[in-house]
């Protein structure tokens, strides 16, 4: 018989396509995870994954099994949530998705605050691009997401958390002198580095640089702000950086931060959940906790 645990292991492997990272995600050893996947394959009589030295891929049968497994796991999660639910707010399991250009900078503030102020909550975090998070929210795999709002989705409620202003990041010894504060028309599209398709920050950068010829934009397919800023620090171009990321990224990467002239471009970060969710009180309390944790860290010397 296939177990719920095996299905969770298989979903982790399908998400990461890497046995080592999947094992870390579900907190077991790599050999143990591999043995459980092989047990699933033996029981079902099909090959779920294609294993090579270079990569791990799902087979067609594996994709079919994954779709069924995710439906089962979503139902199990709803069952567990109903069983754990109490009359209090922010208690039990809460599955939260966060976009990659927010997660590294907000999670270190949110998690310690929630553990201290709401010790009965169990937070499960997922980092992914907005479209994937919105799909998971709609299908019940997430309870809420933190993303740039508005999001294009039906049956959702969004609450604003904070405004995140944009700055321009350049090399510390960039030969091109940018006036500070700079205007959006001073952005050189030939030197603007972008995240890969699917990241909302890419779209926001394009919106800031409305006059840029998209063919001239430099696209390295970077998947993270840290990668982009490493390129910037090596004088490969410039990129838009949100205020939220500045403290963390400037501490580890030698870059120059140039502000925009008012009205400075910005994005609105919000908490989004299903309109039909019975956990509105939890969502409102979570929003308050996020705002409080961020304000608290700003006040600290």
Tell me the pTM. Answer: 0.66
CA gap 285, 232 in Å, rounded: 39
Per-residue CA distances from 282 to 115, 251, 271, 285, 289 (Å): 15, 34, 12, 5, 10
pLDDT of 220 over the 60 cut: no
Specify the pLDDT at position 213: 47
How many helices (DSSP H) and strands (DSSP E) are in the chain? 10, 11
Specify the pLDDT at position 295: 77
Per residue in 85-134, pLDDT tens? 555 678 888 999 999 889 999 999 999 999 999 998 989 999 998 999 99
Domain 164-266: assigned CATH number: 3.40.190.10
- For 1-84, CATH number out of 1.10.10.10, 3.30.56.10, 2.60.120.10, 3.40.640.10 equals 1.10.10.10
The residue ranges of every structural domain in the chain are 1-84, 164-266
Q: Identify whether the C-beta of residue 232 lies closer than 8 Å to the C-beta of residue 255.
A: yes
* Helical H segments across the chain, by residue range: 4-16, 19-26, 30-44, 60-84, 103-117, 130-138, 200-208, 225-233, 243-252, 280-299
């Amino acid at each position: 018989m296939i177990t719920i645990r095996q299905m969770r292991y298989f979903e982790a492997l399908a998400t990461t396509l890497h046995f080592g990272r999947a094992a870390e995600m579900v907190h077991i050893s790599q050999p143990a995870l591999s043995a459980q996947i092989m047990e699933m394959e033996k029981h079902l009589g099909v090959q779920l994954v294609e294993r090579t030295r270079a990569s791990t891929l799902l087979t067609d049968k594996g994709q079919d099994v994954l779709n069924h497994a995710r439906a089962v796991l979503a139902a199990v999660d709803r069952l567990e949530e109903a069983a754990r639910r109490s009359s209090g707010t922010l208690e039990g399991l809460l599955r939260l998705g966060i976009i990659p250009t927010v997660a590294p900078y907000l999670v270190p503030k949110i998690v310690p605050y929630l553990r201290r102020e709401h010790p009965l909550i169990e937070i499960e975090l997922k980092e992914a691009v907005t479209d994937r998070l919105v799909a998971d929210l709609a299908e019940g795999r997430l309870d809420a997401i933190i993303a740039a709002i508005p999001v294009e989705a039906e049956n959702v409620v969004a609450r604003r958390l904070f405004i995140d202003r944009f700055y321009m990041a350049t090399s510390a010894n960039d030969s091109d002198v940018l006036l500070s504060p700079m205007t959006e028309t001073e952005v050189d599209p030939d030197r603007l580095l972008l995240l890969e398709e699917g990241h909302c920050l890419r779209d926001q950068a394009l919106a800031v640089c409305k006059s840029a010829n998209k063919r001239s934009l430099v696209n390295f397919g970077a998947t993270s702000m840290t990668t982009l800023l490493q390129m910037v620090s090596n004088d490969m171009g410039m990129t838009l950086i949100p205020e939220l990321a500045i403290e963390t990224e400037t501490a580890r990467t030698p870059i120059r931060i140039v502000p925009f002239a008012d009205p400075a471009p910005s994005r609105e970060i919000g908490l989004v959940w299903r309109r039909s969710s019975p956990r509105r009180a939890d969502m409102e309390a979570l929003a308050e906790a996020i705002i409080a944790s961020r304000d608290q860290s700003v006040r600290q010397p």
